[in-house]
Amino acid sequence: MPTLIYRSFLPITGVQSSPTTELTRELSSTGSTTKRHGSRSNSTDSAYEQSFFPMNFSKSSPRSSLARLNSMPPTKPPVISVKIESPPLVCYGPPKNSTGALLSALAQLEILEPRQKILSFEMSLVGEVSHKHSIVSSCADCKTQTSLVHKWDLFKEKRILNKGNHSYPISFLIPGNLPASNTNPLSSISYFLKGKAVLSNGETTTFKQPIKIARSILPPEQPRNSVRVFPPTNLSANIRLPTVVYPGGNFPVEVRLDGVLSANKKTRWRLRRVVWKVEEHTKSISTTCVKHRSKLGSGKGVLHEDARLVGSAELKNGWKSDFQTADGRIEMELECGIPVLHRAACDVETPSGVEVTHALILELIVAEETLPTAPVKYVTPTGAARVLRMQFRLCVTDRPGMGISWDEEQPPVYENIPGSPPAYAGTIEEHNFSATTESLPLDEPPLYSPAISGDDSEATQS
């Protein structure tokens, strides 16, 4: 007759028992059940077995094992972060002469588990050029071109890190000819710090943080002067404007109009209206990826152009006319600017075809009138009018901030510095130190004169 042995691990309160209690049950051939501690009904036996033996080890399945594995708490991935320690990244000067900007940061890897095995950890600085009018709008590679600027392999071998924050310093000198960050109606230039950590189970943790690289052109001491002539008239305009303009700020423009009076002193030009505009011209060349290269061909692209106003105004007064000089003169000072709401982009030019430029347009509307002669006392307009249109290139750049490049920074200067050592009045020449040392008394310190020469050595020893 077969015998089944069951082990129960239920403690009995108040009684010190062994950790296991063996229960023996004999199964007869007729199917009746006989127990050592008495007989029980079938329903009682079923409830007894379910309460004491909830797991049936003889009938375990792979599905139940998988369910137990899925019920285990998942491993918390590490968290990557970057703490930038360097000042704002500003490249001073034009791309050909700029020395770049210095990037210094701490790449931090925060471990959330007590101990975690990391296979590799790397950081990279990448640049992305996105076109808003791509050849294939549904293709992400055609819309955005990514280039690697620099890469840091913090560690490639397997490491076991404890719970906490682990920091790794990174630094890089950004080249001065690198295009600055830019956002315009046709494209955008962006830079990102990316991080990647590979775990022992094959999972990866990624990180992406945008950073801004600006370019600032330092203005010269002297402003920019320009002269325009308007034949067949005698009118000439002298314009004085700044060489550098900042988005979101105002800039003064001085205008002087000469030759207002005619040579015979019978007619003159009077200024009626002044219009100034700041235009932004954008160019972008869209290319295709390797997958869609057959649409245009290798090395070809589509040129997109756009022009918009980022600032304008119209004036009907505010200038001074002087008709008492030999040829007459009209002077004015305009307050031009680029409002913040227009979100103007800075000047940029890249080898990939992205170009942003700005221009200042001045329009002076003048009308001719006849000077009064006796007995007429009123000015009579002749009906002739002209539009004096001038266009100047503007350099729109980011603000310089401190205005000091990384290679021009000087160490700090301390104020409380002690005085220098005292200067000696005389020199020692051709003196026999050995003889002097033997003749000096040992109980008194030696006395030195300001100057000792060869002729006075004997007098000094005595």
Give the mean pLDDT of the chain.
79
Residue ranges, comma separated, of all CATH 2.60.40.640 domains in the chain are: 79-216
Q: What is the pLDDT of residue 24?
A: 39
Domain 79-216 has CATH 2.60.40.640: yes
User: What is the per-residue pLDDT across 126-175, written as a single tens digit (0 to 9) for each?
Assistant: 999 999 988 888 888 889 999 999 999 998 889 999 999 999 999 999 99
Q: What is the pLDDT of residue 9?
A: 42
Q: What is the pLDDT of residue 264?
A: 81
The model scores a pTM over 0.75: no
What kind of fold does domain 225-394 have according to CATH?
Immunoglobulin-like (2.60.40)
User: What is the per-residue pLDDT across 45-55, written as a single tens digit (0 to 9) for each?
Assistant: 544 444 444 44
3-state secondary structure the chain: CCEEEEEECCCCCCCCCCCCEEEEEEECCCCCEEECCCCCCHHHHHHHHHHHCCCCHHHCCHHHHHHHHHCCCCCCCCEEEEEECCCCEEEECCCCCCCCEEEEEEEEEEEEEEEEEEEEEEEEEEEEEEECCCCCCCCHHHHEEEEEEEEEEEECCCEEEEEEEEEEEEEEEECCCCCCCEECCCEEEEEEEEEEEEECCCCEEEEEEEECEEEECCCCCCCEEEEEECCCCCCEEEEEECCCECCCCEEEEEEEEECCECCCCCEEEEEEEEEEEEEEEEEEEECCCCCCHHHCCCCCCEEEEEEEEEEEEEECCCCEEECCCCCCEEEEEEEEECCHHHCCCCCEECCCCCEEEEEEEEEEEEEEEECCCCCCCCCEEEEEEEEEEEEEEECECCCCCCCCCHHHCCCCCCCCCCCCCCCCCCCECCCCHHHHHHHCCCCCCCCCCCCECCCCHHHHHC
How much is the average pLDDT of 101-115? 93
Confidence check: pLDDT of 306 > 80: yes
More confident residue, 305 or 290: 305
More confident residue, 35 or 287: 287
